[in-house]
Structure 1
């Protein structure tokens, strides 16, 4: 999937929740959260089956801090050895309720997780042991990319059940694993929205979650309308 390598002013960093004519959209948090939780549950089941049959990569024989070893170390930082004491749906819903995370942030966070999976050398997979840390960090980073104003890291840490210092370190690991490729261009955003739409329509319903990001000037005009 083609992506823009560098952020540009033509790519938006805000995702308004209404159409260009000012009418509201059906871009509701419950729909996005439900669909995304279902997708992640399937990913986790598939990833854990694959891990059960795959040999775990070892450290470099000479103990050197090569690029590959550093990447594995960052990936292991997300493994907590514990699992969430709630469903993924309830966990994602916490961020909407207590951090007011809009649907577009969830879409971008999902794109980041997919990007981590695809990046060579990282191969980060969501499993039970890393879901809490990985999802909290992905939502934090996506919120900073999408929103002009955000809650503090300590607030996100409290919502995600992590210590503030721990989340700060995980954020840095997340950025390095992504190779600081945070930009999500309009076409990529739309493709992930269409994917969520297809998932929801397969369940017998259809909600329009596709809303391309607008540039900052368009966002201000829409907000003033």
Structure 2
């Protein structure tokens, strides 16, 4: 399960990853990614139906994260890709989810939908990694992994910070609350209770072997995709 400790010096928010598990030849994604992906997919599908049914007014606050069309890569594959190439600690994905949840509660005119979920995820996880991980990749690396341009991700990062009023601190208590919420989601969907957060696995992956993807269909910069 997700755990919190006040004596682990590697994370500024005192968020502790579980003890290392036996290594595997082909490491599977942390369970938290599976649960978070499932939760976000359900939420996005519901919100897409609301927008399609014209029962939700046009969202405004999160417009900056919209693409022209929904990327072809699924939410689970996108999160797995971020985890594989950036080596973010699993806690970063929980904190990234906290940021998204703060946004949708602070701006009720906005919904998490297929047009914005990928950009929100890569931006929120990147900011979380800067808060939690002592060693993290720069914006340019996250941009390539996330399928956006560096300039676009720089803009999205600033947009996120201003929308959150730079409120990117997550206390141990808040972190634990969200862990419990995700665990309830896991049990509700019949998944065995296991270590949801596993230690970040050191991969030899780099941008050199990262398969090119693109979520860069934004109206302002679609022509500048590398």
TM-score, normalised to structure 2, is 0.72
Give yes or no for the alignment of 1:130 onto 2:131: no
- The unaligned stretches of length 5 or more in structure 1 are 1-10, 59-71, 212-225
Which of 164, 170, 180 matches 1:194? 180
The within-5 A match list for 1:208-219 is 208-209=195-196
Q: Distance in 1 between matches of 2:65 and 2:152?
A: 10
- The unaligned stretches of length 5 or more in structure 2 are 1-10, 23-27, 199-226
Deviation at 1:101, TM superposition (A): 1.5
The structure with the greater share of residues assigned to helix is: 1
Q: Distance in 2 between matches of 1:125 and 1:113?
A: 10
Which of 92, 116, 131 matches 2:103? 116
Change (3 A) 1:210 1:158: closer
Structure 1 runs, 4 residues or longer, greater than 3 Å off = 23-26, 54-58, 121-124, 208-211
The within-5 A match list for 1:1-225 is 12-18=12-18, 23-24=19-20, 29-52=29-52, 53-54=54-55, 56-57=57-58, 72=60, 75-119=62-106, 121=107, 123-202=109-188, 203-209=190-196
The answer (yes or no) to whether the contact 1:117–1:124 under 8 Å persists in 2 is yes
Q: Distance in 1 between matches of 2:109 and 2:124?
A: 15
Query: For each residue in 1:42-86, what CA deviation from the matched residue of structure 2 results, as whole angstroms up to 9, or x when unmatched?
Result: 11012112223235459xxxxxxxxxxxxx3x5211111221222
TM-score, normalised to structure 1, is 0.73
Deviation at 1:142, TM superposition (A): 1.1
Equivalent residue pairs, number: 181
Query: For each residue in 1:112-162, what CA deviation from the matched residue of structure 2 results, as whole angstroms up to 9, or x when unmatched?
Result: 10000111x464422111122111111111111111221010000000000
Alignment root-mean-square deviation, CA: 2.4
